[in-house]
């Protein structure tokens, strides 16, 4: 699934010369935590977050300062003074998987989506990515997650799918992950049923080991 299909189009933006209070008001009004900073041609030049604004705010105890020195200074701060320049961006042609991997590496709250010329096309947040990931996996439907340990060789997935199909069980999704033992993989089928006792017995009879999904850890 391409990012262009799931990103928020026409995002709320802010000008680099806007007062910091304007960005604060926009975030409060739209319940955003990040605002892309663009020029007159919608070229992305930075991003400002609620954390950036909080860091620039004067301390609460200074409100009683007769001279209001710190508050006067705050009122003069521009977005360009606190924004992150050259933020991490993604292309509309990135996939959901690409974005999730990049999210894990960069640890940011949102990605501005830009084209090859650097023009802002949208924005996608952590919540957007998680929502789509849940949708792709079918996790909103009630079901059961299994963890099946298999040998890393051709034909294993077909045997598992056949066993599940013979029990007339529908799939929500299937993931395959690394396992700490060399030559093995962990298969995670999400099954749209709560009645998996007969299936578990069948899989064990076929020679598969079942692991509690909560006990799986790729770095074990």
Q: Which domains does the chain have, with CATH numbers?
A: 3-135 (3.10.580.10), 144-215 (3.30.70.260)
Looking at residue 216, its pLDDT comes to 73
Cβ contact 191:164 at 8 Å? yes
Q: Give the pTM.
A: 0.69
For strand 34-38 and strand 14-15, is the pairing parallel, antiparallel, or unpaired? parallel
Task: Decide which of 133 and 39 is more confident.
Answer: 39
Say if residue 61's pLDDT is above 50.
no
In percent, the amount of the chain with pLDDT more than 90 equals 55
In percent, the amount of the chain with pLDDT more than 70 equals 90
What's the alpha-carbon Rg for the chain, to the nearest Å? 24
Which of 9-13, 41-45, 52-56, 123-127 shows the lowest per-residue confidence on average (mean pLDDT)?
Answer: 52-56
Cβ neighbors of 172 (< 8 A, separation 6 or more) are 137, 138, 139, 141, 143, 190, 191, 192
Residues 31-52: pLDDT tens digits? Answer: 989 999 999 999 999 999 999 9
pLDDT-based confidence at 112, cuts 50/70/90?
very high
Say if residue 70's pLDDT is above 70.
no
| 24: nearest Cα among 16, 15, 33 | 33
Q: Where are the alpha helices (DSSP H) in the chain?
A: 3-6, 20-30, 50-56, 69-75, 79-82, 96-106, 126-137, 156-166, 197-205
């Amino acid at each position: 699934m391409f990012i262009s299909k799931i990103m928020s189009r026409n995002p709320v933006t802010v000008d680099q010369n806007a007062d910091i209070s304007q960005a604060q008001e926009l975030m409060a009004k739209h319940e955003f935590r990040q605002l892309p900073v663009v020029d007159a041609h919608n070229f992305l030049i930075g991003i400002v977050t609620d954390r950036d604004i909080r860091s620039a705010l004067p301390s609460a105890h200074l409100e009683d300062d007769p001279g209001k020195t710190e508050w006067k200074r705050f009122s003069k701060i521009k977005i360009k003074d606190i924004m992150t320049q050259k933020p991490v961006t993604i292309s509309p042609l990135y996939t959901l998987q690409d974005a999730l991997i990049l999210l894990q590496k960069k640890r940011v709250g949102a990605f501005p989506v830009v084209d090859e010329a650097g023009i802002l096309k949208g924005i996608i947040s952590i919540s957007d990515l998680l929502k789509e990931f849940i949708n792709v996996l079918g996790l909103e439907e009630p079901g059961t997650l299994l963890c099946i340990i298999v040998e890393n060789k051709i034909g294993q997935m077909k045997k598992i799918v056949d066993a599940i199909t013979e029990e007339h069980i529908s799939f929500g999704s299937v993931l395959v992950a690394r396992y700490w033992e060399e030559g093995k993989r962990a298969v995670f089928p999400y099954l749209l049923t709560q009645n998996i006792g007969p299936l578990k017995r069948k899989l064990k009879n076929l020679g598969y080991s079942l692991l509690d999904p909560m006990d799986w850890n790729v770095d074990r």
